Structure 1
Amino acid sequence: MVRLSRFTHQALVCLVAASCVIASAPSRADDTGWESVKKAGVLRCGAAVAPPYVMRDPKTGEYSGFFSELCRNFGQNVLKVKVEFVDTTWDNIVAGLQSDKWDLSMALNDTPEREKAISFSAPATDYNVSFVYNKNNPKIPKGAHTIAEIDKPGVNVAVMSGTAQDKAISAVFKQAQIMRLPGNDETRLALMSKRADLLADANITNMLLTEAHPDWAAAIQPTPPLAQQEVAFGVRKDTPPADIAVLNRYLSQQVSSGAVNRLIKVSVQSMLASNK
């Protein structure tokens, strides 16, 4: 019989114990889709701020906005798990999903470029790009409704870097200067401080700004519509089709029942109230 040294014996005991812990610990890598989420007990929602889709209280860190509510309701009421919001930016919203930093990316425009990297749920709402400007700005023609009327030298357009609207205006603006800024607060401040002549953003988001400041803010809805797209949840490519179907059924019910429209109205009213 081979006698083990005290050190070797203790090392083997530790190794066996560690192996048991590893084998019993839940791992998201063992499964994909909602099975992994249920084992972990939490649905992680990747959150890049874009009111009223996704909003974050700077004081409390609490998330609101209609996509935040959809993600929260799906996790709590359909998957029966806790919901955690993971802060990110629009530049990283796809890469973070691919690297398993969260399970759903919220409020993503379904574009051919993004479809190469991730998959999408059914849409929750539609999207297009509009422009807000100061009605007293002489650079912006009154009644403008085409890109050609505002794509002029000396015109500065603020936009959130990495967003769908960033890509959309980059493709059509040839003469105006594009100011790429990290977030919604920065783009609004650029417009309000007159460093930017135009603010390019989602039509619903820009509606918040014009309704909050009717004394000076006006919107241009380009003709034809710019970057008309669907807004949905992003999921990883390895998400099983059956799991995407579960999410789609939930979204379809929320849309058909009018719940999404009600959430949009609540989000808009909340944002307007916070700006007073």
Structure 2
Amino acid sequence: MTNRRSFITGVAGLAAATAIPNVFAQAAAATGSTEPTLARVQRTKTLRIGAVRGAAPYYNKDLASGEWGGFMIDFAKSLAASLNVKLDITETTWGNSVLDLQTHKIDLFFGMNPTPARREVIGFTEPLFLNAFTIVSKKEFKTWADLNKPEVKIAVDIGSSHDQMISRVCPNATIVRLEKADDATLALQTGRVDAQVLVWLLALNILKKNPSLGKMTVPQPLEATSTNIGVPKEEDKAWVETINKWIVAERAAGKIKPTVLGNLQKLSGVKPEDVPAQIPL
């Protein structure tokens, strides 16, 4: 099981907008890849995905066996089975995943937020699920309005979706921007701030490891970011349409929620009953 630093640092990178269009465009041109992604997958009978080491419950690589797990891996296995192809997993990082898609090193990447900068260089599916924003604190904040006061200090990892959301929703609060999400957690632990903004998967994970931080609340009205699948940007829409059909089928079969919660319990020790009813999945 991964430690808190590697997990939070890795997943916080999921929310940060790091794409640089000109660099990625030049890298993609260098590959000379013109075959549509769906055609390549069907021709090779192989689905290539990227996975991030030390990012449970999203991704998890067993150090002894080398086997990959996590709910994104389970989703990838389901998609590969629906296409009747084998799954090929390439280790990457949250930061490099956009470049891997842009250069056609991989066919898709599960767990990516469609920021405007990323949309310039890669494509996106419909949302796989919504990741609600929460507050970790010793004091309960029932609404975002309760947080939107100058005397309330809120820690975030700078440039992340946490930062973007709280800046928009609570402009009057004192927002303490730190380099990484685990730096924000340390600020909360040492009493430098009153609360930390985190998506619920991160919040429950860090509280399982360090209950003394306080508790997680879901301030109202609900604020959430989407978790999508990143794909190569191409004129042929067959690939993204194929994945969207799979997402619809998974949702209709009721598979999204149990896949996420099952891995959360297995890899992080968070039980389904620990997840508040307000959390959408």
Per the normalisation by structure 2, the TM-score is 0.67
Q: 1:220 to 1:273 in 2, by over 3 A?
A: closer
Larger radius of gyration: 1
CA distance, structure 2, for counterparts of residue 64 and residue 190 of structure 1: 31
Q: 1:192 to 1:41 in 2, by over 3 A?
A: farther
CA distance, structure 2, for counterparts of residue 63 and residue 114 of structure 1: 26
CA distance, structure 2, for counterparts of residue 38 and residue 177 of structure 1: 49
1:132 Cα deviation from its structure 2 partner: 1.4
| Alpha carbons 2:152, 2:194 under 8 Å: kept | no
CA distance, structure 2, for counterparts of residue 150 and residue 180 of structure 1: 22
| Alpha carbons 1:44, 1:86 under 8 Å: kept | no
CA distance, structure 1, for counterparts of residue 163 and residue 90 of structure 2: 24
1:153 Cα deviation from its structure 2 partner: 6.3
CA distance, structure 1, for counterparts of residue 61 and residue 197 of structure 2: 23
Q: 1:224 to 1:156 in 2, by over 3 A?
A: closer
Equivalent in the alignment of 1:67: 72
Equivalent in the alignment of 2:111: 107
1:218 Cα deviation from its structure 2 partner: 1.0
Overall identity of the aligned pairs, in %: 21
1:87 aligns with 2:92: yes
Aligned length: 237
CA distance, structure 2, for counterparts of residue 163 and residue 207 of structure 1: 18
1:180 Cα deviation from its structure 2 partner: 2.7
| Alpha carbons 2:156, 2:162 under 8 Å: kept | no
1:245 aligns with 2:241: yes
Per the normalisation by structure 1, the TM-score is 0.68
Q: 1:163 to 1:215 in 2, by over 3 A?
A: closer
1:223 aligns with 2:220: yes
Q: 1:216 to 1:102 in 2, by over 3 A?
A: same
1:67 Cα deviation from its structure 2 partner: 2.1
1:76 Cα deviation from its structure 2 partner: 4.3
Q: 1:50 to 1:217 in 2, by over 3 A?
A: farther
CA distance, structure 1, for counterparts of residue 207 and residue 36 of structure 2: 43
| Alpha carbons 1:66, 1:260 under 8 Å: kept | no
CA distance, structure 1, for counterparts of residue 161 and residue 140 of structure 2: 26
Please list the CA deviations of residues 216-258 of structure 1 after superposition, one character each: whole Å capped at 9, or x if unmatched: 53123233333x3332211121162222222122121111111
Equivalent in the alignment of 1:24: none
| Alpha carbons 2:264, 2:270 under 8 Å: kept | no
Q: 1:256 to 1:214 in 2, by over 3 A?
A: farther
Aligned-pair RMSD on alpha carbons? 3.5
Q: Residue 229 of structure 2 is aligned with which of 204, 208, 233?
A: 233
CA distance, structure 1, for counterparts of residue 186 and residue 34 of structure 2: 45
Q: 1:257 to 1:169 in 2, by over 3 A?
A: same
1:264 aligns with 2:263: no
CA distance, structure 2, for counterparts of residue 188 and residue 87 of structure 1: 25
| Alpha carbons 1:47, 1:105 under 8 Å: kept | yes
Q: Residue 83 of structure 2 is aligned with which of 67, 78, 100?
A: 78
One-letter code of the match for 2:232?
A: R
CA distance, structure 2, for counterparts of residue 188 and residue 44 of structure 1: 34
1:164 aligns with 2:169: no
Equivalent in the alignment of 2:20: none
Q: 1:172 to 1:46 in 2, by over 3 A?
A: farther
Superposed counterparts of 1:124-203, under 5 Å: 124-133=128-137, 135=138, 141-146=139-144, 149=147, 152=150, 155=153, 157-159=155-157, 163-172=160-169, 175-181=174-180, 191-192=188-189, 197-203=194-200
Please list the CA deviations of residues 110-132 of structure 1 after superposition, one character each: whole Å capped at 9, or x if unmatched: 44453333222122211222121
One-letter code of the match for 1:169?
A: I
The DSSP-based 3-state class of the residue aligned with 1:103 is coil
